[in-house]
Structure 1
């Protein structure tokens, strides 16, 4: 930990020998709410321990928590796989020959409306899925909801695989989108709840890594199949989707449920067992009970704000601010150059690269994104969420406008390669900063009580923004549309500027804050730029 962080934690540390009940009376808290002296002392111990824990110590003490967080996040590889797959279909020669229409030069291309439909249908299905995720998860838990999604995923792949027309393929993608919504709503929430405070950034960042892994598999598969001239050029990659659900179902069946969800349901004994499974086998009983006390305390604080959570609670009181931040973080992923990565192969073709080289470059691009994701893990431990997000935006805004300039001058082989390289660098920056840190911010911003609902609605905001942006992206790149190639950098650069301004004034610093501290900071309506400097005592509950 840096000295600055240590100083902050020293300021929040209190004498554990102090009487918790007297502390609360002195601070004017309501009598009778937190009168269990042992529970409060244990909660103090657990929270101070998490603040003092280093990144490496947390990994050593909670290896299984890291493992299960990664397993749940890995479900996102299926949404990533299919999203990138659709982006590659429109560049596959056999697919264009089967479903395309003639263009100048004697070749064929997929019409803009069908290109957009292939991208948008899955997102429309996921939009439905994320709204279903919250109520289902509140009732069944993260584990059973994810298992339900995996069963649905296995079934809906059949529609896409056996499709004989673009219409049926689009319908298949829409049905596949529903379980995507369950996965993307639950994964960041589960990962953030099962790991210690210092690991939340790194573990939720593995969501972006899963996206990159899906992209690499698709890039390799489509590169291998792109020279085929029959229907297996696209059916082969579609069939690869069946590789993921069954192994994940087996693993997740044996996964521990989130102890936070169990405590909210009043199942404290099961929560204690989950805590023990998520820590080291050699961990002592007292440490697990301290963690349980910390969870119970935070849940009790939030319980005072209302009973059974509903979607309406997301727009009430201070939760409205938290919901807006979550929605803006998700939506902003579509406005900072990310859609160039989702349509990388097609973008490279429009930038002047050959079809075969575009597939090769896409594979390189996907591998570089994975490297960026890995680099994001220590980055999230060294720098604040707000710093990484704003810094990533500044870099990509600059690169996007340079991309637009390269596409505006007299075109040559050099400018074509420059546009392709800039597309790769923009994707790399996104994968190392904006992408992974957004998931950390989303998971940490919502209250524990409303987390399953909040992450679902936030992801819905992502799809609301993405669906029209996909059409816009397709229109900008498609030869039947505006045929802008790299000039799209002007558009995405402009939208990224809007994201920067919104985040500068609205995004608080969440790093090194417990969920209790975040509840208090939002409850007190602390300014986003003062979150980092505000000291919250470990004994405070409101």
Structure 2
């Protein structure tokens, strides 16, 4: 074990860590923590108090931290809304008749345009996540999100007034850029402002935002699916304007992450943020501040200003791989069935009106599952939830494939629909929410904004071809597999399970300092849970 000993008298020229002027300010201030026994004792006490705090105690003591975490996570509702909206458009009779082609006596949207509509937003978001990290490191979580919300308001106009599939696709691509900012920043911000015991539940609300978006879409499209004019899809598009402005006001009022402020050397502002997030007592706030400063200073010895290349160096490469695999795996466990649920139900032999009803039920059940995930994260470890959740979905996907392979009748049609709902429910209860928790905890604090952005980029790299594959499997002008696609998704989910069993560590109840040490010691994934880290270790 090697312990990093800071220079008690850092050079005044600011080149101690080869960083710029801001980093000089950070390093000089934080070196005081590691060299000062009194401040170190504060850091010890601050970390021990967080470890001792139960979930309910943390909620009662930090209600505003929970509120601001949920507010930031709720920005994801806009990506969710639009993703599910596109999935419903291809099932809207009026939309099919306006932009579709005749096939077997019915109007259908050609596979290539289905894929384009689904993929355009993800392509835009792919650009957004790479922009999010550097901008967030410069401006902070609040101002980066505010800029993204302003951009979101503007780009909705293009989709709303689009009069062709090509222009609608362009609109979706431009809307995707701010989505990238939201999804990169939300889990990082939420994980940084709440106590250790609340990280799981608060980051899991990201999946709840997806469910809320799908519920609104399901209700809107069900209400308008019988219209035979352009308002059948323009009104649901206009509903996107419900979110950005109220969220912009709330995010403007939110406190900045004290971790980001400390990294920028703004100690007084960080202390004010800590107090706004729930630590009203001055001594307690100072202990939390010392704990943050200690962790940030330990990480600062690894390098100066963070860059994308740092994600590929040393132990951070392992952390980046875990983050990328967690994000990418969200596309391989049957979740894309949920994203195209209405169309899936229709392909399973359900009437269009009943398919929209089932989609609404499916979305509401996902919301219930998300609430259930809060309790799961309190009772079980991250690794346990992920492995068992994935295994359950593999079984359900195989059953779906079998059900679609036998002679079809009304009973098998509804059996496929029910299995599709159960797969979505299982994902929303386990895989979906716990993935965000793992992603938020795995990266180092220094590289978090960059790591969550690159991880989400891996999600889009996986999702874009998978969307095409999903559309090809379900579309009558494609392979027309219907429920037999369960075999394909079961196979990809099995690969995810094997990789997670081999490489996914257990991070529950660990402070960010402890997580840094576990990775730096190169502890095996299956040994993370039983490895003891002393509160005095600074390595």
Name segments (4+ residues, structure 1) moved above 6 Å.
none
**CA offset at residue 27 of structure 1?**
7.6
Please give the alpha-carbon distance, in whole angstroms, between the structure 1 residues aligned to 2:101 and 2:3.
73
State the partner residue of 1:274: 273
Contact 2:62-2:277 within 8 A present in 1 as well: yes
- Determine if the alignment matches structure 1 residue 30 to structure 2 residue 27: no
Show the counterpart of 1:288: 285
The 5 A counterparts of 1:1-80 are 29-30=4-5, 32=8, 34-80=34-80
Instruction: Find out whether 1:472 has 2:480 as its counterpart.
Output: no
TM-score norm. by structure 2 comes to 0.95
1:247-302 alpha-carbon deviations (Å, 9 max, x no partner): 0011111100000000000000000000000005xx31000000000000000000
Q: 2:163 maps to which residue?
A: 164
Structure 1 residue 88: Cα displacement = 0.1
Q: Is the 8 A contact 2:94 2:232 kept in 1?
A: yes
Aligned to 2:19: none
Which whole-Å CA distance do the structure 1 matches of 2:301 and 2:370 have between them? 39
1:385 Cα deviation after fit = 0.2
Q: Which residue of 1 aligns with 2:83?
A: 83
Cα deviations by residue, 1:318-370 (Å, 9 ceiling, x for unpaired): 00000000000000000001000000000000000000000000000000000
Q: Distance in 1 between matches of 2:220 and 2:114?
A: 20
User: Residues 216, 28 of structure 1: CA spacing in aligned structure 2 closer, same or farther, 3 A cutoff?
Assistant: closer
Cα–Cα, structure 1 residues 371 and 168, in superposed 2: closer, same or farther, change >3 Å? same
The secondary structure found in structure 2 opposite 1:480 is coil
Q: 2:237 & 2:317 partners in 1: Cα distance?
A: 40
Choose the corresponding residue for 1:518, options 515, 518, 524: 515
Deviation at 1:107, TM superposition (A): 1.4
1:19 alignment counterpart: none
Q: Alpha carbons of 1:407 and 1:27: their partners in 2 closer, same or farther (altered >3 Å)?
A: closer
1:245-324 equivalences under 5 Å are: 245-279=244-278, 283-324=280-321
Query: What does residue 219 of structure 1 align with?
Result: 218
Matching of residues 328-343 of structure 1 within 5 Å: 328-343=325-340
SS in structure 2 of the partner of residue 526 of structure 1: coil
> Does residue 421 of the first structure (1) align with residue 418 of the second (2)?
yes
Note the residue ranges of structure 2 that are not aligned, 5 or more in a row: 9-30
* Count of residues in Structure 1 that have an aligned counterpart in Structure 2: 514
Report what 2:479 is aligned to. Answer: 482
The 3-state SS of whatever aligns with 2:359 is: helix
Q: Does 1:112 align with 2:111?
A: yes
Question: Which segment drifts farther, 130-139 or 27-36?
Answer: 27-36
Q: Following the alignment from structure 1 to structure 2, what is the Cα–Cα distance between the partners of residues 317 and 353?
A: 53
| Deviations 1:120-159, CA, capped at 9 Å, x for gaps | 0000000000000000000000000000000000000000
Closer/same/farther in 2, CA of residues 389 and 28 from structure 1, 3 Å limit:
closer
1:18 counterpart residue number: none
What aligned pairs does 1:354-369 form with structure 2 within 5 A after superposition?
A: 354-369=351-366
2: CA distance between counterparts of 1:504 and 1:304? Answer: 32
Q: CA deviation at 1:38?
A: 1.5
- 2:123 is aligned to 124
Distance 1:247 1:259 in 2: 24
Distance 2:347 2:4 in 1: 64
2:448 alignment partner in structure 1: 451
- Cα distance in structure 2, aligned partners of 1:214 and 1:381: 25
Q: Deviations over 1:51-85 (max 9, x none)?
A: 00000000011000000000000000000000000
| Contact 2:311/2:317 (<8 A) preserved | yes
How far residue 30 of structure 1 moved from its aligned partner, in angstroms, is: 2.4
* 28 and 427 in structure 1: CA distance in 2 versus 1, 3 angstrom threshold: closer
Q: Distance in 1 between matches of 2:266 and 2:98?
A: 56
CA deviation map 1:394-428 (0-9, x unaligned): 00000000100000011111111100000000000
2:3–2:538 Cα contact (<8 Å) kept: no
State how far apart, in whole Å, the 1-side matches of 2:482 and 2:417 are: 10
Separation in 1 of the partners of 2:165 and 2:38?
Answer: 64
Q: What residue ranges of structure 1 are gaps of 5+ in the alignment? A: 1-25
CA deviations over 1:172-194 (Å, ceiling 9, x no partner): 00000000000000000000000
CA contact (8 A) 2:184 2:453 kept: yes
3-state SS of paired residue (2:35): coil
Distance across 1 between alignment mates of 2:391 and 2:234: 40
Q: Distance in 2 between matches of 1:483 and 1:28?
A: 60
Report how far residue 29 of structure 1 moved.
4.5
Alignment root-mean-square deviation, CA: 0.9
Distance in 1 between residues matched to 2:161 and 2:180, nearest whole Å: 23
Post-superposition shift, 1:28?
Answer: 5.4
Q: Tell me whether 358-367 or 406-415 shows the greater mean CA deviation.
A: 406-415
How far is the alpha carbon of 1:98 from its aligned partner?
0.1
